[in-house]
Amino acid sequence: MQRSQNNSLVKCFYRATLLSCCLLCIGAFSTPVKAQQVSTVAEVYDYDIGDIFHYLYRQDYGFQPDSIRTEVEITGKYFTTNNDTVVYHRSVVQHDKPYGSSSWTTTNYTDSVYYTNLTDPIIGGFGTITVYDDNVYFNGRQINKHNISITESITMLHYVEGCGSSLNSFVGTGNYTGHFTRLEYYKKGTEIGGNILSTPEQEAGFETLQCSPNPAHQHVNIEMPQLSGAWLTLYTPDGKQLESYQLPADRNTIGIGHLPAGIYILSIQQEDRIAFRRIVKQ
């Protein structure tokens, strides 16, 4: 009788141990490697006065503008009395190239935008939601991706904490293929991400421009046909000019070994054409 009771206890122990192991295994495989919460509206649209954002808009409709480049600077900020809505004043420069045209028009204006329900999650509803950090483009800022796919179309809504919408893309069927608005560059204090947008007229002839290696320790090679005579100007992220000189005909390398580690903006100018590139010094 005693032996039977002992055997029963042993069996119960083994069963409990096996069940615990199974639960641990299930938890190990079902727990995300990096679990994060979806950002709130307040976290995504957390702008400060002086923040700058550059957006590129393209669409393939045959009856509307083909490309728009927009530069936005935050010039004012206030909350409503119950703190559930934030209002931003903006200074906007918009470069517009109509469909089929080779020339751009530029418009300057000011406006105001507001965001409400600040404690709500930025994305929700149906579709695939992915939340993660991207340490390349957005410098570790949390990205919220909301992809919605239905029979007629695919929509992607991507948001970054402190930068607003980073991508709003639609691809559908019918007489058009789709459109997107994408954040190309941002500046928040001394932090920058992406590359400053220039108009195509400014960048004409710079299509093949490459700066490598980037990041770099000592030197950066500038690779572009007919680079001779170009003026190079190096800036800090907040716009302070550090140095400017004309590149000799027999040289296509700039030295950065004397600079502190950090991010810099390099402008390359030939006559009335100019391009900007971000340089990372390690």
Question: What is the DSSP code string of 37-81?
Answer: PPPBHHHHT---TT-EEEEEEEE--SSS-SEEEEEEEEEEEEE-T
Going along 60-208, which residue ranges are E strands?
67-79, 85-97, 105-116, 128-133, 142-149, 153-160, 164-172, 178-188, 191-194
Of 279, 51, 29, 36, the closest CA to residue 134 belongs to 36
Angle at 213 between CA 212 and CA 218, to 5 degrees: 115
CA distance 60 to 55: 17
Residues facing 69 on adjacent strands? 56, 95
CA distance 155 to 175: 17
Using DSSP, state whether 32 is helix, strand or coil: coil
Using DSSP, state whether 152 is helix, strand or coil: coil
Using DSSP, state whether 7 is helix, strand or coil: helix
List per-residue pLDDT tens for the chain, 282 residues long.
444 444 444 344 344 433 334 333 333 322 232 346 889 999 999 999 999 999 988 775 444 445 788 999 999 999 998 889 999 999 999 988 776 666 678 899 999 999 999 999 998 777 778 887 666 667 778 888 888 877 667 788 889 999 999 888 776 655 555 677 888 889 998 888 877 776 655 555 666 677 888 888 999 988 876 677 788 888 876 567 788 888 777 777 888 999 998 878 788 877 666 777 778 888
122 within 8 A of 144, measured Cβ to Cβ? yes
